[in-house]
C-alpha cells in the first residue's frame, strides 16, 4: 500500500496516575465526536477497562499501543490504519509520562506525537507551570499544551494559564459532582453503569475547549506502507468458544481480531448464564475478568461446569487466563471470605487478598517465539500442580507467572497479547506443541 494518511494526534499524559487522564481523554473524545469528528483512541500499555470507557466515548474500538508488548512495527501499523479512518487520534498514556520501560514518553518521541499534559489543579495554581515545564524538559518531549483538571473557577484557570509561560492552556475541566466509580482492578466497567452515557456527556459538557489552540495543532502523516499484512490462516476451520460476560470481560479487541484473521470461527457463551461450551467447539478460551464478584452464581452454574469437564475429558484445548484460571480451580474464596466451589479442572484453591499479587509486562517463551502480555491480579492460587513453565518479567527477565498444563488445559495468571506471536496462540488453541 502506497501513500500517506494524516490526522491530528495527541498523547494525553500526566505526572502520575490519579490526575484524571481517562476522564479528560473521554471528555475530549466525546467533545470532538459531538463536533462531527471521526475519533480513534488508543491506550498506552496493558489495560482492559479504561479502553471500554474510551470506546464508549469515541464510538470506536480502542486498541493498545506499547513499544514492547505490541511492538514498534505493530504500533506503527495501527497508527497508520487509524490515520486512514479518523480525523483525530488520541492516545491515553499510562501512569506518569516517564513511568515504565518503555514509557508513554518513549512512544510519543518514537512517533513524533505531541504531548497534552493533564494536571490535577485542585490544590495548586502557579506551581502548575513548574510542573508542566519539568514534564516537557525532562525527556524532553514536544509539549502541545495543558488540560487543567478539577479547576475551581475562571480565576483559578487564569492563574494556571499565566504560570505556563507560553505553553497553551488547551482546556479545563471543572470539579465533578460525581466521579466515575472504581473497584480493585480499576474503573467499574461501563456495561455495569446504567448512567454511563450521561456521565460521559457530563464530562464533555464540562470541558472548556480552546478552539484556537486546537486549530494550531498540525496533522501528523503516516506511511500507509507500514500497515501490516494479514496473518496466515493458521486456524482455518477451527471454532473457538470464548467466555464473555460480566465475569469474563477482559478481552483485547486485537486478540479477537487476530483469531478472526487466522481464520478461526468465534462463538461466545456466558458461564454466568450457565451456558455450556457450545457444541462443535474445537477450542475454549476463558479470558480474565471479575469472577470473584460472581462466585455465588458461578458456583451454581452446573451446566457450564459439566460442559467444561466434558470438553477437558475429550481433549479439547482450553486456554484459561487469570480469571479464567480462577474458575477452573476447586474453589474460589472471594473478597468477603466466602468460599465457592468452582469447576475443579485444576487442583487447589484461589483466594482474594487485599494486596496486589502480580503486576507488569511479561513474556512467555514458546517454540514459536515470545508471546508477550502482562499480569494484574489480587488473588493467589494454592495448588499441588507443578508449573510446566513460567513467564519472564519485562524488563528484568526475572521469573514471572506460573503456567500450568494439565491434559489439554493451559492456565496462568498471564494475559497474552495474541498479535505478538500468532503462531504460539495457534499452537495453544489446536493442542500442538507451543
Say which residue the cell 495548586 belongs to.
124
At residue 203, the pLDDT reads 92
CATH code assigned at 353: 3.40.50.880
What is the Cα–Cα distance from 343 to 416, expressed in whole angstroms? 22
* Sign of torsion over alpha carbons 400, 390, 261, 106: positive
User: 167: helix, coil or strand?
Assistant: coil
Q: Are residues 216 and 153 in the same domain?
A: yes
Q: CA of 96: how far to CAs of 18, 102, 144, 363, in Å?
A: 9, 12, 17, 23
> 215 and 248 share a domain?
no
Strand partners, 389: 403
Domain boundary among 179, 203, 226: 226
Cα–Cα distance between 172 and 390 in angstroms, integer? Answer: 46
Pair (221, 252) in one structural domain: no
Statement to judge: residues 141 and 276 lie in one domain? no
Measure the CA–CA gap between 13 and 301, rounded to whole angstroms: 43
Could you read off the pLDDT of 256-286 as tens digits, one per residue?
999 999 999 999 999 999 999 999 999 999 9
Residue 84 maps to a domain: yes
Name residues of the chain where pLDDT drops below 70: 1, 177-194, 433-434
Residue keyed to cell 499441588:
384
How many Cα atoms occupy the beta-carbon half-sphere of 191 within 13 Å? 10
234 occurs within a structural domain? no
Are 233 and 262 spatial neighbours (Cβ–Cβ below 8 Å)? yes
Domain end (from 226, 248, 280):
226
Task: Tell me the HSE value of 25 on the side-chain side, using a 13 A CA sphere.
Answer: 35
Question: C-alpha angle 242/183/15, rounded to 5°?
Answer: 105
Separation in Å, CA 37 to CA 33, 58, 166, 197 = 5, 10, 28, 18
CA pair distance 208, 162, nearest whole angstrom: 17
The boundaries of the domain holding residue 344 are 239-430
What pLDDT was estimated at residue 175?
81
* Beta carbons of 227 and 1 less than 8 angstroms apart: yes
Residues 75 and 25 in one domain: yes
Whether residue 151 sits in one domain with residue 49: yes
Residue 232 lies in a domain: no
Asked whether the beta carbons of 118 and 88 are under 8 A apart, the reply is no
What is the phi/psi pair of residue 55, to 5°? -65, -40
- Decide: 389 and 403 in contact? Cβ < 8 Å: yes
Q: Are residues 252 and 397 in the same domain?
A: yes
Q: What is the DSSP string of 86-131?
A: -SEEEEE--SSTT-TTTTHHHHHHHTTPPEEEEEEGGG-STHHHHH
Cα end-to-end span (Å), the chain = 33
Same domain? For 69 and 91 the reply is yes
Q: Looking at the DSSP assignment, which residues form a beta bridge with residue 239?
A: 265
The domain that holds 13 is classified in CATH as 3.40.50.300
- What pLDDT was estimated at residue 349? 98
Residues labelled catalytic: 322
Give which of 308, 369, 300, 298 is closest to 334, Cα–Cα: 298
pLDDT of residue 261: 97
Whether 422 and 285 share a structural domain: yes
Work out the angle between the directed axes of helices 127-138 and 154-163 (0-180°, nearest 10). Answer: 40
pTM surpassing 0.85?
A: yes
Q: Looking at residue 61, what is its pLDDT? A: 94
Same domain, 209 and 258: no
What's the number of domains the chain is made of? 2
> CA angle, 285 as apex, 266 and 186 as ends, to 5°?
105
Domain for residue 246, yes or no? yes
Amino acid at each position: 500500500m502506497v501513500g500517506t494518511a494524516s490526522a491530528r494526534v495527541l498523547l494525553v499524559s500526566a505526572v502520575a496516575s490519579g490526575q484524571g487522564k481517562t476522564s479528560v481523554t473521554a471528555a475530549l473524545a466525546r467533545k470532538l465526536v459531538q463536533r462531527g469528528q471521526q475519533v480513534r483512541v488508543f491506550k498506552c500499555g496493558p489495560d482492559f477497562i479504561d479502553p471500554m470507557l474510551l470506546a464508549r466515548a469515541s464510538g470506536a474500538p480502542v486498541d493498545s499501543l506499547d513499544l514492547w508488548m505490541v511492538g514498534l512495527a505493530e504500533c506503527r501499523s495501527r497508527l497508520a490504519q487509524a490515520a486512514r479512518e479518523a480525523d483525530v487520534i488520541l492516545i491515553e498514556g499510562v501512569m506518569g509520562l516517564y513511568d515504565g520501560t518503555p514509557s508513554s514518553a518513549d512512544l510519543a518521541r518514537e512517533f513524533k506525537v505531541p504531548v497534552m499534559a493533564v494536571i490535577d489543579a485542585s490544590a495548586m495554581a502557579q506551581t502548575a507551570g513548574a510542573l508542566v515545564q519539568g514534564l516537557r524538559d525532562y525527556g524532553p518531549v514536544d509539549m502541545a499544551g495543558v488540560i487543567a483538571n478539577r479547576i475551581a473557577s475562571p480565576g483559578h484557570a487564569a492563574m494556571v494559564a499565566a504560570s505556563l509561560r507560553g505553553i497553551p492552556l488547551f482546556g479545563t475541566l471543572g470539579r465533578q459532582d460525581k466521579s466515575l466509580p472504581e473497584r480493585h482492578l480499576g474503573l467499574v466497567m461501563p456495561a455495569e453503569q446504567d448512567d454511563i452515557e450521561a456521565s460521559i456527556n457530563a464530562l464533555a459538557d464540562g470541558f472548556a475547549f480552546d478552539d484556537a489552540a486546537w486549530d494550531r495543532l498540525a496533522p501528523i502523516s503516516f506511511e500507509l506502507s507500514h500497515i501490516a499484512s494479514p496473518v496466515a490462516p493458521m486456524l482455518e476451520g477451527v471454532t473457538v468458544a470464548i467466555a464473555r460476560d460480566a465475569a469474563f470481560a477482559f478481552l483485547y479487541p486485537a486478540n479477537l481480531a487476530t483469531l478472526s484473521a487466522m481464520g478461526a470461527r468465534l462463538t461466545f457463551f456466558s458461564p454466568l448464564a450457565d451456558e455450556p461450551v457450545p457444541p462443535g467447539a474445537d477450542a475454549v478460551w476463558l479470558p480474565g475478568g471479575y469472577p470473584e464478584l460472581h462466585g455465588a452464581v458461578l458456583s451454581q452454574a452446573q451446566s457450564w461446569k459439566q460442559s467444561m469437564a466434558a470438553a477437558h475429558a475429550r481433549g479439547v484445548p482450553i486456554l484459561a487466563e487469570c480469571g479464567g484460571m480462577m474458575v477452573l480451580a476447586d474453589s474460589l474464596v472471594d473478597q468477603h471470605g466466602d468460599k465457592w466451589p468452582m469447576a475443579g479442572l485444576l487442583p487447589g484453591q484461589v483466594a482474594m487478598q487485599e494486596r496486589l499479587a502480580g503486576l507488569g509486562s511479561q513474556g512467555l517463551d514458546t517454540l514459536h517465539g515470545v508471546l508477550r502480555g502482562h499480569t494484574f491480579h489480587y488473588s493467589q492460587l494454592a495448588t499441588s500442580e507443578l508449573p510446566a513453565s513460567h513467564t519472564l518479567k519485562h524488563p528484568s527477565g526475572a521469573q514471572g507467572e506460573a503456567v500450568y498444563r494439565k491434559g489439554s488445559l493451559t492456565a496462568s495468571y498471564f494475559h497474552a497479547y495474541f498479535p505478538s506471536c500468532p503462531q504460539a496462540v495457534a499452537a495453544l488453541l489446536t493442542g500442538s506443541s507451543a
